[in-house]
Amino acid sequence: MGRAPCCDKNGLKKGPWTPEEDHKLITYIQLHSPGNWRNLPKNAGLQRCGKSCRLRWTNYLRPDIKRGRFSFEEEETIIQLHSILGNKWSAIAARLPGRTDNEIKNYWNTHIRKRLLRNGIDPVTHTPRLDLLDLSSILRSTLCNQSSSLLNVSNLLGTQALLNPELLRMVSTLLSLKQENPETLLQYLQQNQLCNSIDTQLQNNQNIMQLNDHHQFQTPVSDVSSLLNQTQFMQAANNVEGLFSDMTNFSCQNSQENLIPSNLMNQAFVSQQAPINQVLYSSPSSSNPTVPVPSESSSLQSVLNNGNQNNFNFDSVISTPLSSPTPLNSSSTYLNNSSTEDERESYCSSFLKFEIPESLDISDFM
């Protein structure tokens, strides 16, 4: 284990510690306490630099270090704290007795981060990111793999623009609103803030397209504001909804795989508002494990009714800061500590309820 000595400056040893060195260090610290780390190696008879001694002690030899697998409680705490603190490993470690910042950092990079990515969750922002799933390439791959040209791919050239993640998020949110509470949607569409946000997002999209009633994409329109009155945007949302329904059906019919589940869009929005720990470790015993989290009948409603968010800001959906992390003593259901990594992964996947095809290489995101 560990890095081999890369140099031997000042005659000091580097690389993995031997049991003899460990014993010397432990014995010395037990007798004298570390004191000045720079002087410690000389006093302890070690051919190491003080920094190396300090790291060895704090990360490995300290008697109060808890070793072994992280429990679910610990993992959940790490995720929650990371959503608040970011890569402040020492601060996170301070909340996890017996764990070192180095250990937590390693665990994050080798386990949690990858798991989040596999489930389409941005490990930096802790929010779902459809672009991590690279839907456009999934779709293209699926379509191109069809031996018969049941669908003219050129007709779908516009999907690259449609599958812009920001636009997807925006549309999915509108669909959620529309399905769960159309009146609320209208109410919030009437707030100019939303329209402005949509306008900004669309203007940032260089591949703006116009949707017609036949779910086909045509040439970009120069004046996107024409899309932004309420009626027309609802129409656009309807068209996109139909398109995804078509795509899903197409996918099911031709590849036996539901690559774009019909509930994906709604779940993406719902998950966005849910604490990440709930996304990852929702109780498998919940009445409907495919319906994520929200204890209220409508997660959307809970967001909209949140006293701190009287004005539903579309930017919060788009840029996705984690605004209200759950308390550390969250009452979410833990899996028992003896669960395997596969079981954790299984719960994560089943919870998000969509499949990531084998062909999708997530290594690019790591």
Partner DNA sequence: AAACGCCGCAACCGCCGAGGT
Partner DNA sequence: AACCTCGGCGGTTGCGGCGTT
Q: Name the residues that contact DNA, by CB under 7 A.
A: 1-7, 14-17, 34-39, 50-52, 54-56, 58-60, 87-91, 101-103, 105-107, 109-111, 114
For DNA, the closer CB: 117 or 276:
117
What's the closest the beta carbon of residue 361 comes to DNA, in angstroms? Answer: 10
Query: Measured from the CB atom, is 54 or 178 closer to DNA?
Result: 54
DSSP state for residue 110 in the 8-state scheme: I
- In the complex, least distance from residue 125 CB atom to DNA, rounded to whole angstroms: 14
Q: Looking at beta carbons, which pairs linking 119-126 to residues 24 or more positions away fall under 8 Å? A: 119/279, 119/280, 119/348, 119/349, 119/352, 120/352, 120/354, 120/356, 121/271, 121/276, 121/279, 122/320, 124/86, 125/320, 125/321, 125/322, 126/79, 126/82, 126/83, 126/276, 126/322
Residue with smaller CB distance to DNA, 48 or 169: 48
Long-range pairs of 120-124 with CB within 8 A, sequence gap ≥ 24: 120/352, 120/354, 120/356, 121/271, 121/276, 121/279, 122/320, 124/86
* Closer residue to DNA in complex, CB, 54/353: 54
Q: How far apart are CA 56 and CA 8, in angstroms?
A: 18
- State how far the Cα of 60 lies from the Cα of 349, in Å rounded to an integer: 34
Q: In the 8-state DSSP scheme, what is residue 153?
A: G
The nearest distance, CB 49 to DNA, in angstroms, is 8
Q: Please name the amino acid found at residue 303.
A: V
Name the amino acid, one letter, at 43.
Answer: N
In whole angstroms, the minimum distance from the beta carbon of 90 to DNA comes to 3
Could you tell me the two tokens for 350? 């089943």
Phi, psi of 128 (to 5 degrees): -60, 140
CB of 6 to DNA, least distance (A): 5
Quote the least distance from Cβ 138 to DNA, whole Å: 20
Q: How far is the CB of 93 from DNA (least distance, A)?
A: 7
Which residue's CB is nearer to DNA, number 257 or number 341?
A: 341
What does R_g of the chain's alpha carbons equal in angstroms?
26
The residue among 36 and 331 lying less far from DNA, judged by its C-beta, is 36
Query: Which residue number, 296 or 341, has a Cβ lying nearer to DNA?
Result: 341
- β-bridge mates for residue 121, sequence order: 128
